[in-house]
Structure 1
Amino acid sequence: MRTKTLYAIGIILVLLALQGCSSHPEEGLLQRYFNAIKLKDIATMSSMAVDPIAIDVDNWNITAVSEEKASATNLADLAKLEADLKKKLEGHAGPVVEAQDLMFSAKEKYDSARSGGAKSAAKKEMEEATANFEKERELHRQIQKEYNDASAMAKKEEDTTLFSLGNRDMTNARDLAGMVYAKEVDVAVKGTDGTTKNYRFHLKRYELRDETINLTHRGRWVIINFETLN
């Protein structure tokens, strides 16, 4: 009986320990990250941080942890915006070419005009056609920039999502809804020179739900970036 009781107590203690570890994932994550820094293990650092950066560290301690924030993922929305802008960009190619053709045609008419009246009328037509082409070209450039920005944002969010999920080969991440969890961790880091600097680490964890196969993809906490506080 005594053996069974001790065994049960041991199981309870293990479960409590595991629960305690899982409730403070930032501690284990930062412990592994700083250990990797000390070992100059770039590969391990890269497995935990989106943009791994080495910090001069002798020892460190967490000074503050923000409340965990949860929000719906926006990868699907960013992907839709990218697709919509791509369609808009492709659709505007025609008006640009048409405006350019009209400008060239007006220029040819101006060059071939002989009388003063014809020359004056052709010049006005050429100037209007040129102004219209420049307007359409500038609009196309704006749409191109919007598309490039949206594409970059979608790619960055997709890369971060897959990094947290630990599956860079997932092909349908942009089609799935889910949640993203975020928190900030302030850390005091004492360097090898004895000086202390304070940093704020931004952490995130993603979850995506695939309803077609009734599966939730649960990601891990990763370091998105960090900033120097002093």
Structure 2
Amino acid sequence: MTETLQYTDLLTPAELKVDALSSLGIDVTDETNVSGLGGSYKDATIRAIQDVTGSIEEYLDRKLIVRKHNIDIPSFKWANNNALDKQQYYPPQWPVVQVVTSGVDISNDSERFLSTASKSEVEFYAGYKRRDQNVGNDDSDDISNEDGLSGLSETPENLPSDIRRVAVSLVMYELMRAKQGTIAMSSVTKTAGNATAEITKVRQDVYEDELSKLHSHRRIL
């Protein structure tokens, strides 16, 4: 079955091809069906990208590529910001790109709503974009053409480089694991005195190691 890349996916096969160089030994952009595979290398790559995207977002407890949100905010969750003489609220999704609800501004760090009075409901856009995406150019990579984003006029920041690198590493791991037919990513031989041991990193270890690099991006409120 032909797989379709979603605008919310953290990577594209073309982007991965550049980052992987020739280490994978396959062309991740090849759309030719491979005998016995049930699809193409590009299909397998898109599936891996979407699985990794889900794993990263689950770990961070937030969505990453820009989406439109409409949230209810209890009045007690707004806090006084005495320096600005405003009410502030940290939404569960950030960075905030654009607010639809009138009377609500975005803080300089793009992580807070600022308002002269608390709002019971706020509609807004939050998230990043991939480097290949843009806003307002009306072409195939214009994310404002996506469902729910027709009102988006501000351009989101690019996905942070550390999140992108972890996504690349995990997708490459999944593809290499499938290609080699093994649960291991790598083996390291360690020597202590006259004893040597080979330590194999399995899937759980790989994901824990890579995802832990993104701890500062987790939603903790």
TM-score after normalising by structure 2: 0.23
TM-score after normalising by structure 1: 0.22
State the structure with bigger RCO (CA 8 A, min sep 6), 1 or 2: 1
Tell me which structure has the larger Cα radius of gyration: 1
